[in-house]
Chain A
Amino acid sequence: MAIVEAKQLTKVYGSGETAVTALDHVDLSVAPGEFVAVMGPSGCGKSTLMNLLGGLDTPTEGSISIDGKEVAGMTDEELTKLRRRRFGFVFQFFNLIPVLTAIENAALPLTLDGMSEAEARAKAADWLAKVGLSDRMKNRPDQLSGGQQQRVAVARALVTDPALVLADEPTGNLDSRSSEEIAGLLKTASDEWGRAILMVTHDPRIAAHAHRIVFMEDGRIIDDTQIAGSDDARKAMEKVGLL
């Protein structure tokens, strides 16, 4: 069964003459452990799709089910709980709390869920070690490089053992070396730790780490291709005219 399944998903901003259709009857599903990259030009609806699938925004039309359960009609409280326990988020701008240390940032979703501080810290420490930051646990964000901050964000996204990690341009603010590291981490999360990943990216090299690339244009999915490595990725991109 798919972790997340969207049917005829539509999002319209504004109304009347000023209405803009950001997403136009999109169907998409993500299976457990699958790493999906979403690509397309600016304004094609990638981020809107991600926000809707992550329960951050509500669709104008269509339905989303997560773990087979329909999202429509969920209360704010239920959606909050769902995000906390089933999803992990990685943002382009890292979004770490500047006054908390790396380990406190990574432990945040667990402490928000009421886990004891000691237990949450122990789990966060494990994940920080897995992302290669065991020597930076007590540093605050301003004492970490961009790549290190994003690794803390990945650890924070994975610490709750989520079914799906949503990553919105996770390498958009990083140099190429750090970008490769983060993409590799996400791949590991999918291949070795069994997490489903849905990643929005502009970068073909980063998309090449995924198992599948979904191409979007003008709010619609124009292609959905399984890939196995950078050659497949390049061919898929050439097919839709992105390269």
Chain B
Amino acid sequence: MSVSFKLAWRYLWGRKLRTFLTTLAVIFGVMLIFGLNGMLPGMIDAFNRMLLGAAGQVDLSVTSASSGYFDSSIVDKVRNVNGVAAATPSLRRTVGMPTGSALGTVMVVGIEPRSARKVHDFQQQSGRFLAGSDRGVVVIGTDTAGELGLRLGSKLTIPSVAGTRSFEVIGLLGNASSPGASEIYMSLADAGMLVGQPGKVSTVEGRFVTGVDRAAVESRVRRALGSDYTVGGLSTESQLLASLKVGQFSMTMFGVFALIMGGFIILNTFRTLVSERRHDIGMLRAIGARRRTILGVFLVQSLVQGVLGTALGLLAGWGLALLAVNALVPIWRTAMHMDVTIKPVFTPGNWAVSIILGMGVTILGAIIPARQAANITPLEAMRPQMAEVADRGHKKLVLVGWTLLAVSVPLLFITGNTSAIGMGAVLFLIGMILVAPALIAPLSNLFARLLRVTSPATAELSSSNLTRQPGRAAATASAILISLAIVVAIIGLLNSIFAGFFSYIDKSLGSDFVAIPQGLIIGGSHVGADQNLVNEIAGTPGVGDVATLRLGAGKINDGEVQIIGVDPVMYPKVASFTYSSGTSVADVAMLGKGRTMLVNGIYSAQNGVSVGQTLQVETPNGLKDYKVVGIATDYLNAKLASTYISQDNLESDFGVTTNVLVLANAETGASIPMVKARLERLFRDYPQFILYDSKDFKDSQVKLIEAEMPIFYVLIGMLALPTLLALLNTLAISVLARTREIGMLRAVGATRRQIKGMVVAESLLLAGVGVSFGIAGGLVLGYALTFATDAMFPMPYVFPWMGIITAIISGFTFALLAALIPSRQAAKLDIVEALHYE
């Protein structure tokens, strides 16, 4: 065993508490990165299973490039391609089941029975399979039948665009083609009627001739069909997947922040180790240890902690993902009506990132102190062991810090540009970290004045303890800064987002009644309703103006986008958009004139689209030019990139006439409860909708947000935890490093209580400095985040009072908690042993 390894191991083992505390920082960071990223792919995978169906089980899958429906005749073109053995059309659609059903959603699959059996391997368990002429019958998997409580001959009721329809179960399949997706097989004709797309299909699937060059066949199919079709995988609803991927990025950032905090904690620990072991290192150098041997001792030590911390972090992350997924499933069921089984998925990328960052941050945190250690001269061994003395300030770095702060101010408050503000926030945070050592003394003296009121001697000692090691105090304060700044910023951002959403609800859904899909997402599993329902609503006594939203899917510049159809005359009468500057209600009327569109904030921000531009939209009927006449956002679609066109254009270019959302006003003087009761009777046959009056709806939204808040709080709480770790680590180090000094204080008459008080006061002072930094950083970060988000969802800036209060409470509570063990240890020290402590 090499000397470096032996010494490193012995030092680690000899200081178990410190090793544990430092390693805990690594464990925490890795846990967040690995766990959160393990949870999200699981959710994405669940979406895939739900929405992309059995695409993976066939050789070939053809969909419309605009993600819409297409004519079934396309299947013949596929069949004629050399290398394709069989092809079959299908119409797939996730359908939300009525409230009270054992399943929230089912996947309706319309098939052509004869050709489908040539492509898919259906294992009939009982009853019979579908025949070509079958109508009003379905075949389902045994697991789905079990969940829905159905047997052969049972009736299954499914919502359709023309009211609910009943189907008889004639066969049970032994294998569900995609686990977790409850598939209901029926004739293509029945499925077309059910979703309002007669004669249309969503997918053509094929099986290749055995042994052919798959890529070559795919390429031939592509040539035969042209650019209107996607060959290969399905891409349905990928906007949602994109949203989840943005979420995944944010989660990674949380983890990275946590690891940076871990890095500060490690840096602190190793700096202290070096200062404590100067004598040992000097002696080792005197008796012939090379510089690289000394460097090796510290690097091996950090490597061991990195390996240990990363391994335990991976384990803890796995637990976190499992816990979070189990907590999320019921929320998904309620909020989005998605009935899925989510399992954590740990991708090779996640493993790699977690391991590289875990190990990397630990080694990086140790490298500067390790290099300092290697430069210690043998003469250090000759000097008597000194108590901790003040470390040298880093004047140049502090100067760089002040410069960064000065540069950040105009970027933050003058440019008004999202990227510049983001850059300003980052510079501000880095600047604060660099100037921290210079601010430790004045801030600590300021807080010490408060403490002097209760205990003058203790306040004096703790303040001087902090200020003689400004580097260590600054690193701790920086860890607290990052941790609490994120807390303040996120709480501020959430407050702004919620304020914005409630204002959207008032505007976008300002009608007296609103009938919305159960899942709050107007696409996806929602089948909607045809014009008959709208006519019936309009004809209901007491109902005034009625407007609807319709939904199509298209592509602009190869990017998928929701195309929402509105009636330019009726929509402004019952609801309103939130308009970005330069756009007004008059622009909605423009939608009735030619091919014009409004784009929402997200779409405009993501694609840099501005008013007056003409966009080429891929539609099922080819490319169409649409002119952008305004930027406006409605509540339900605020979270997805969307565009708005007239319902007439949606019908002629996209063939969509189904209404997915209905808004209605009551006539003046009509009784809201009475009108609602009439409408409820009408909606009984359309269980895919939930009817609210506007007050109920707002209440339900508040409830939904409140249901999600605990998850945010848990996440935010986890981000504040490193504050506790940083303080605990620093105080433990501080007490160990000053053992002799504490012994001396006890020897000259300090009571155990005074020693305890000194450590607690030091913790509170450090927290005071860290909380001040955290609030300043959080305000700037929150401002930048709100500004960036505002480009997508216009929202008011809400000053984060709650965030500041949370930061103060958590900072000082953690300070008291962190001081518990070290202060007791310090107070319990035996005077003689402490005086001889090395």
Residues of A within 8 A of B (CB): 47, 51, 54, 56-57, 76-77, 80-81, 83-85, 88-89, 91-93, 95, 97-100, 104, 108-109, 111-113, 117, 141-142, 156-157, 168
A113, B287: Cα distance in complex, Å: 10
Q: Are B382's CB and A91's CB within 8 A?
A: yes
* B315 CB to nearest chain A CB (Å): 28
B382-426 interface bits toward A, Cβ cutoff 8 Å, 1 = contact, 0 = none: 101100000000000000000000000000000000000000000
* A225 CB to nearest chain B CB (Å): 26
How many inter-chain residue pairs (CB < 8 Å) link A and B? 84
Beyond the given A56-B379, A97-B7, please list 12 additional residue pairs across the A-B interface where CB-CB is below 8 A. Answer: A56-B378, A57-B379, A80-B288, A88-B287, A97-B284, A98-B14, A109-B287, A111-B6, A112-B284, A112-B290, A142-B838, A156-B287
* A164 CB to nearest chain B CB (Å): 13
Q: Are B3's CB and A84's CB within 8 A?
A: no
Please, which residues of chain A bring their CB within 8 A of the CB of B13? 99
Chain A residue nearest to B1 (CB atoms) is: A117
> Does residue B694 face the partner (Cβ distance < 8 Å to A)?
no
Q: Are A83's CB and B286's CB within 8 A?
A: yes
Q: Are A93's CB and B287's CB within 8 A?
A: no
Chain B residue nearest to A84 (CB atoms) is: B288
B8-37 interface bits toward A, Cβ cutoff 8 Å, 1 = contact, 0 = none: 001101100000000000000000000000
Q: For A84, A97, A141, which residue has the most chain B Cβ atoms within 10 angstroms?
A: A97
Please, which residues of chain A bring their CB within 8 A of the CB of B3? 108, 111-112
* B79 CB to nearest chain A CB (Å): 76
Q: Are A113's CB and B10's CB within 8 A?
A: no
B250-283 interface bits toward A, Cβ cutoff 8 Å, 1 = contact, 0 = none: 0000000000000000000000000000011011
Partner of A51, one of B291, B379, B384: B379
A192, B280: Cα distance in complex, Å: 30
A89, B286: Cα distance in complex, Å: 7
Chain B residue nearest to A56 (CB atoms) is: B378
A111, B296: Cα distance in complex, Å: 14
Q: Are A76's CB and B286's CB within 8 A?
A: no
Q: Are A91's CB and B381's CB within 8 A?
A: yes
Q: Are B279's CB and A95's CB within 8 A?
A: yes
Q: Are A56's CB and B377's CB within 8 A?
A: yes
Please, which residues of chain B bring their CB within 8 A of the CB of A91? 283, 286, 381-382
Q: Are A112's CB and B379's CB within 8 A?
A: no
Q: Interface on chain B toward A: helix, strand, loop, or mixed SS?
A: helix
Please, which residues of chain B bring their CB within 8 A of the CB of A56? 286, 377-379, 382
A104, B279: Cα distance in complex, Å: 18
> Does residue B207 face the partner (Cβ distance < 8 Å to A)?
no
Residues of B within 8 A of A (CB): 1, 3, 6-7, 10-11, 13-14, 279-280, 282-291, 293, 377-379, 381-382, 384-385, 838
A109, B293: Cα distance in complex, Å: 12
Please, which residues of chain A bring their CB within 8 A of the CB of B10? 97, 99-100
* B524 CB to nearest chain A CB (Å): 62
Q: Are B284's CB and A80's CB within 8 A?
A: no
Q: Are B838's CB and A54's CB within 8 A?
A: no
Please, which residues of chain A bring their CB within 8 A of the CB of B290? 77, 80, 112
Q: Are A93's CB and B385's CB within 8 A?
A: yes
Partner of B14, one of A83, A99, A156: A99
Chain B residue nearest to A153 (CB atoms) is: B283
Q: Are B7's CB and A83's CB within 8 A?
A: no
A76, B292: Cα distance in complex, Å: 12
Q: For A92, A112, A113, A141, which residue has the most chain B Cβ atoms within 10 angstroms?
A: A112
Chain A residue nearest to B2 (CB atoms) is: A111
Q: Are A93's CB and B279's CB within 8 A?
A: yes
* A119 CB to nearest chain B CB (Å): 14
A92, B284: Cα distance in complex, Å: 15
Chain B residue nearest to A86 (CB atoms) is: B288
A26, B285: Cα distance in complex, Å: 26
* B304 CB to nearest chain A CB (Å): 14
Chain A residue nearest to B379 (CB atoms) is: A56
Known: A80-B289, A168-B382. A100 touches B7 (CB 8 A): yes
Chain A residue nearest to B10 (CB atoms) is: A99
Q: Are A95's CB and B280's CB within 8 A?
A: yes
Q: Are B279's CB and A54's CB within 8 A?
A: no
